Structure 1
Amino acid sequence: MGFRNRVSLRDSMRGIVEEPLLQLVPKRFDYIGNVAVISIPPELAAYKEAIASKLFSMRGNTRAVLNKVSKLGGEHRVADFELLLGETTETIHRENGYTYKLDVKKVFF
């Protein structure tokens, strides 16, 4: 499937999330290795699991979905995360010829 033919997360949640709330489904999310990170607004708390499942299925190698529940803070500038799906927040991220092994909940990346 080409880039332009991909269905957005918001579009794929149509029929699952009530129409008035659909506009609150985040347009963007990040992948760090095989961990998906998304910020789900409190108004969508009842749909967190459904959103996580859909996000999990959108990319074949996803092993965990995290909900970012706070802004960066503290000495190490780490946010708080809620593990929605998966068993671990540790991952291996490859970028520009480098390989990083990290725990997304413990480090700023």
Structure 2
Amino acid sequence: MRSVIGEQVFVEEVLESSSPVLVHFWAPWCSVCRLIEPALAKLRSDSGEQVKLIGINADENLKLASSYRITTLPTVLLFQGGKLLHRLDSYQNREELRTVLQEVIPTQANT
């Protein structure tokens, strides 16, 4: 299951993580955000759980959302080694994200 975090633990959970991290910026009022959660969870499961899935409520973490210039929801960011590798604004489907993950964990993402 995904973890929901805030600004206080972002550095530790995302930037200092030894695993790739998918960060899902969402808001309670965003219906598309809720609709894609099962797809994100499935993708994480398909990757052998080598990818960490983190959710961040953009409404409650405005400073963090602003620092990554989040202007649309949902937005999914992929971090590895503390660096932002990919950004998917207005995330729409699992295949789009699977393609991005293939660069990070090619063998698992292809299954």
Same-fold status (TM-score > 0.5): no
TM-score by structure 2 length?
A: 0.27
Q: Relative contact order, CA 8 A, sep 6+: which one is greater?
A: 2
Q: Which has the larger radius of gyration?
A: 1
Query: TM-score, normalised on structure 1?
Result: 0.28
Q: Choose between structure 1 and 2: higher helix proportion.
A: 2
